[in-house]
Amino acid sequence: MKFSDIIFTPHPHGGVKSRTFFPNGYELSVVAGQFAYSTPRTDFDSADDYEAFEIAVFDQDGEFVTNQFGFGDDVQGWLSRKEIEELMKTISEHA
């Protein structure tokens, strides 16, 4: 799966958001905008306008499990497209 496969929609607080579901039950949230840990921290209508994004990972019960993927918090900011693609690969391979 590639970053370009992520489907972004408008975030209700400005910027963009996405939810990507994996067959193993995990879910990846990717957001960017004024209130997200993104670059820039500005509200745009397209993910193309951002260099870095905020992510969170959830299990099948909707609980944060971001820390199971090498991050120290429920939410991790300022990830590049390449880092998100690497995370997507890791999530898809996670048992």
Contact (Cβ atoms closer than 8 angstroms) between residue 50 and residue 38: yes
Question: In this model, does residue 95 exceed pLDDT 90?
Answer: no
Continuous H helices in the chain:
81-93
Domain coordinates in residue numbering, the chain: 3-93
Mean pLDDT of 56-78: 97
pLDDT band for position 51 (cuts 50, 70, 90): very high
Q: Cβ contacts of residue 89 below 8 Å, gap of 6+? A: 1
76-79 sheet: strands from edge to edge: 9-10, 16-21, 27-32, 53-58, 76-79
